[in-house]
Structure 1
Protein backbone atom coordinates (compact mmCIF):
# COMPACT_ATOMS: atom_id res chain seq x y z
CA UNK A 1 0.00 0.00 0.00
CA UNK A 2 1.10 3.53 -0.74
CA UNK A 3 0.47 6.57 1.43
CA UNK A 4 -3.01 7.90 0.86
CA UNK A 5 -4.60 4.44 0.76
CA UNK A 6 -4.24 3.74 -2.99
CA UNK A 7 -2.55 0.67 -4.37
CA UNK A 8 -0.06 0.62 -7.22
CA UNK A 9 -2.25 -1.40 -9.62
CA UNK A 10 -5.12 1.02 -9.25
CA UNK A 11 -2.81 3.98 -9.82
CA UNK A 12 -1.29 2.33 -12.91
CA UNK A 13 -4.76 1.64 -14.36
CA UNK A 14 -5.68 5.29 -13.86
CA UNK A 15 -2.44 6.43 -15.52
CA UNK A 16 -2.95 4.08 -18.50
CA UNK A 17 -6.56 5.23 -18.90
CA UNK A 18 -5.45 8.86 -18.80
CA UNK A 19 -2.65 8.21 -21.32
CA UNK A 20 -5.14 6.61 -23.70
CA UNK A 21 -7.55 9.54 -23.38
CA UNK A 22 -4.72 12.01 -23.93
CA UNK A 23 -3.50 10.18 -27.04
CA UNK A 24 -7.04 10.11 -28.47
CA UNK A 25 -7.46 13.81 -27.72
CA UNK A 26 -4.14 14.64 -29.39
CA UNK A 27 -5.22 12.75 -32.52
CA UNK A 28 -8.47 14.72 -32.62
CA UNK A 29 -6.68 18.01 -31.99
CA UNK A 30 -4.32 17.32 -34.91
CA UNK A 31 -7.37 17.11 -37.21
CA UNK A 32 -8.75 20.48 -36.08
CA UNK A 33 -7.80 23.76 -37.73
CA UNK A 34 -7.77 27.42 -36.83
CA UNK A 35 -7.23 30.50 -38.95
CA UNK A 36 -4.69 33.18 -38.17
CA UNK A 37 -5.03 36.57 -39.79
CA UNK A 38 -3.14 39.83 -40.21
CA UNK A 39 -3.61 43.05 -42.11
CA UNK A 40 -7.35 43.12 -41.52
CA UNK A 41 -7.71 39.64 -43.02
CA UNK A 42 -5.60 40.34 -46.11
CA UNK A 43 -3.24 37.55 -45.00
CA UNK A 44 -4.76 34.32 -43.71
CA UNK A 45 -3.08 31.13 -42.61
CA UNK A 46 -4.59 27.80 -41.65
CA UNK A 47 -2.91 26.04 -38.74
CA UNK A 48 -3.72 22.56 -37.45
CA UNK A 49 -4.24 21.82 -33.79
CA UNK A 50 -0.79 20.24 -33.69
CA UNK A 51 0.67 23.53 -34.96
CA UNK A 52 1.36 22.85 -38.63
CA UNK A 53 0.77 25.63 -41.15
CA UNK A 54 -1.20 24.03 -43.98
CA UNK A 55 -2.30 27.00 -46.05
CA UNK A 56 -1.43 30.65 -46.69
CA UNK A 57 -3.89 32.93 -48.50
CA UNK A 58 -2.97 36.42 -49.69
CA UNK A 59 -5.40 39.05 -50.90
CA UNK A 60 -4.16 40.39 -54.25
CA UNK A 61 -4.02 43.97 -52.98
CA UNK A 62 -1.48 43.04 -50.29
CA UNK A 63 1.02 41.79 -52.88
CA UNK A 64 3.11 44.86 -53.66
CA UNK A 65 6.45 44.08 -55.34
CA UNK A 66 7.78 47.41 -54.07
CA UNK A 67 6.99 46.54 -50.43
CA UNK A 68 7.85 42.88 -49.93
CA UNK A 69 8.98 43.59 -46.36
CA UNK A 70 5.43 44.55 -45.33
CA UNK A 71 4.05 41.34 -46.83
CA UNK A 72 6.67 39.29 -45.00
CA UNK A 73 5.73 41.00 -41.72
CA UNK A 74 2.03 40.30 -42.34
CA UNK A 75 2.72 36.63 -43.04
CA UNK A 76 4.75 36.30 -39.83
CA UNK A 77 1.98 38.06 -37.88
CA UNK A 78 -0.71 35.80 -39.36
CA UNK A 79 1.32 32.66 -38.56
CA UNK A 80 1.90 33.89 -35.00
CA UNK A 81 -1.83 34.52 -34.62
CA UNK A 82 -2.64 31.06 -35.96
CA UNK A 83 -0.10 29.37 -33.69
CA UNK A 84 -1.52 31.16 -30.65
CA UNK A 85 -5.04 30.08 -31.59
CA UNK A 86 -3.87 26.49 -32.18
CA UNK A 87 -2.24 26.44 -28.75
CA UNK A 88 -5.41 27.77 -27.13
CA UNK A 89 -7.47 25.16 -28.98
CA UNK A 90 -5.18 22.33 -27.85
CA UNK A 91 -5.25 23.53 -24.24
CA UNK A 92 -9.04 23.78 -24.25
CA UNK A 93 -9.42 20.30 -25.74
CA UNK A 94 -6.96 18.75 -23.28
CA UNK A 95 -8.85 20.36 -20.38
CA UNK A 96 -11.89 18.39 -21.53
CA UNK A 97 -9.88 15.20 -21.07
CA UNK A 98 -8.22 16.24 -17.80
CA UNK A 99 -10.46 18.96 -16.33
CA UNK A 100 -8.41 19.61 -13.20
CA UNK A 101 -5.02 19.07 -14.81
CA UNK A 102 -2.81 16.10 -14.13
CA UNK A 103 -3.63 14.35 -10.85
CA UNK A 104 -1.05 14.11 -8.13
CA UNK A 105 -0.25 10.99 -6.20
CA UNK A 106 0.87 12.11 -2.74
CA UNK A 107 3.77 10.12 -1.40
CA UNK A 108 4.51 8.47 -4.75
CA UNK A 109 7.36 10.82 -5.71
Structure 2
Protein backbone atom coordinates (compact mmCIF):
# COMPACT_ATOMS: atom_id res chain seq x y z
CA UNK A 1 0.00 0.00 0.00
CA UNK A 2 1.48 3.38 -1.03
CA UNK A 3 1.39 6.28 1.32
CA UNK A 4 -0.14 9.50 0.01
CA UNK A 5 1.35 12.85 0.98
CA UNK A 6 -0.71 14.86 3.40
CA UNK A 7 -1.18 18.35 1.97
CA UNK A 8 -4.04 19.40 4.22
CA UNK A 9 -2.26 19.52 7.56
CA UNK A 10 0.37 22.02 8.57
CA UNK A 11 1.28 22.88 4.95
CA UNK A 12 -2.23 24.24 4.36
CA UNK A 13 -1.96 26.41 7.43
CA UNK A 14 1.37 27.82 6.31
CA UNK A 15 -0.09 28.70 2.91
CA UNK A 16 -3.01 30.45 4.59
CA UNK A 17 -0.63 32.38 6.82
CA UNK A 18 1.53 33.31 3.81
CA UNK A 19 -1.54 34.59 1.97
CA UNK A 20 -2.51 36.74 4.97
CA UNK A 21 0.99 38.17 5.17
CA UNK A 22 1.03 38.85 1.41
CA UNK A 23 -2.31 40.66 1.65
CA UNK A 24 -1.09 42.75 4.59
CA UNK A 25 2.09 43.61 2.71
CA UNK A 26 0.08 44.59 -0.36
CA UNK A 27 -2.13 46.87 1.76
CA UNK A 28 0.91 48.53 3.35
CA UNK A 29 2.48 49.12 -0.07
CA UNK A 30 -0.76 50.61 -1.42
CA UNK A 31 -1.01 52.93 1.59
CA UNK A 32 2.58 54.11 1.13
CA UNK A 33 1.99 54.65 -2.60
CA UNK A 34 -1.05 56.79 -1.75
CA UNK A 35 1.10 58.84 0.60
CA UNK A 36 3.64 59.44 -2.17
CA UNK A 37 0.90 60.32 -4.66
CA UNK A 38 -0.51 62.93 -2.27
CA UNK A 39 2.85 64.67 -1.92
CA UNK A 40 4.27 67.41 -4.11
CA UNK A 41 7.77 67.23 -5.54
CA UNK A 42 9.74 70.22 -6.79
CA UNK A 43 12.47 70.34 -9.39
CA UNK A 44 14.60 73.42 -9.89
CA UNK A 45 17.01 74.39 -12.61
CA UNK A 46 20.20 76.35 -12.05
CA UNK A 47 19.61 79.53 -10.05
CA UNK A 48 15.92 78.55 -9.74
CA UNK A 49 15.27 80.03 -13.18
CA UNK A 50 12.67 77.31 -13.80
CA UNK A 51 10.76 75.60 -10.99
CA UNK A 52 8.37 72.74 -11.63
CA UNK A 53 6.00 70.98 -9.25
CA UNK A 54 4.83 67.40 -9.69
CA UNK A 55 2.32 65.29 -7.83
CA UNK A 56 3.62 61.94 -6.61
CA UNK A 57 1.93 60.21 -9.53
CA UNK A 58 4.26 62.11 -11.88
CA UNK A 59 1.75 64.68 -13.11
CA UNK A 60 3.08 68.19 -13.75
CA UNK A 61 1.06 70.56 -11.58
CA UNK A 62 2.90 73.84 -11.96
CA UNK A 63 5.76 75.47 -13.81
CA UNK A 64 7.30 78.79 -12.93
CA UNK A 65 9.71 80.51 -15.31
CA UNK A 66 11.75 83.47 -14.16
CA UNK A 67 11.44 86.29 -16.70
CA UNK A 68 15.24 86.54 -16.84
CA UNK A 69 15.32 83.03 -18.32
CA UNK A 70 13.36 84.19 -21.35
CA UNK A 71 15.86 85.34 -23.94
CA UNK A 72 14.28 85.55 -27.42
CA UNK A 73 17.75 85.21 -28.94
CA UNK A 74 18.52 82.01 -27.01
CA UNK A 75 15.45 79.71 -26.79
CA UNK A 76 17.75 76.70 -26.35
CA UNK A 77 18.80 77.97 -22.91
CA UNK A 78 15.20 78.09 -21.72
CA UNK A 79 14.56 74.61 -23.12
CA UNK A 80 17.60 73.28 -21.25
CA UNK A 81 16.46 74.93 -18.01
CA UNK A 82 12.99 73.38 -18.33
CA UNK A 83 14.41 69.93 -19.07
CA UNK A 84 16.78 70.21 -16.10
CA UNK A 85 14.00 71.21 -13.70
CA UNK A 86 11.67 68.45 -14.93
CA UNK A 87 14.33 65.77 -14.66
CA UNK A 88 15.20 66.89 -11.12
CA UNK A 89 11.52 66.82 -10.10
CA UNK A 90 11.06 63.31 -11.49
CA UNK A 91 14.24 62.19 -9.72
CA UNK A 92 12.77 63.47 -6.45
CA UNK A 93 9.71 61.27 -7.00
CA UNK A 94 11.87 58.26 -7.85
CA UNK A 95 14.00 58.77 -4.74
CA UNK A 96 10.97 59.08 -2.45
CA UNK A 97 9.39 56.01 -4.02
CA UNK A 98 12.58 54.00 -3.58
CA UNK A 99 12.92 55.08 0.05
CA UNK A 100 9.29 54.29 0.82
CA UNK A 101 8.65 51.15 -1.22
CA UNK A 102 12.21 49.86 -1.61
CA UNK A 103 12.01 48.07 1.73
CA UNK A 104 9.30 45.83 0.25
CA UNK A 105 11.08 45.06 -2.98
CA UNK A 106 14.62 44.71 -1.62
CA UNK A 107 16.17 41.54 -2.96
CA UNK A 108 13.34 40.85 -5.42
CA UNK A 109 15.12 42.30 -8.43
- For structure 2, the residue ranges without an aligned partner over 5 or more in a row are 1-10
- Extract structure 1 runs of 4+ deviating beyond 6 A: none
Given the two structures, how large is their TM-score scaled by the length of structure 1? 0.79
Aligned mate of 1:25, from 27, 32, 47: 32
Structure with the higher fraction of residues in helix conformation:
2
| RMSD of aligned alpha carbons | 2.1
Radius of gyration: which is bigger?
Answer: 2
Q: In structure 1, which of residues 88, 94, 99 is the aligned counterpart of residue 95 of structure 2?
A: 88
Tell me which of the two structures has the higher relative contact order, counting C-alpha pairs closer than 8 angstroms and 6 or more residues apart.
1
Q: How many residues align?
A: 98
Cα distance 1:61–1:103, how it changes in 2: closer, same or farther (>3 A)?
A: closer
Pick from 47, 63, 69 the counterpart of residue 40 of structure 1.
47
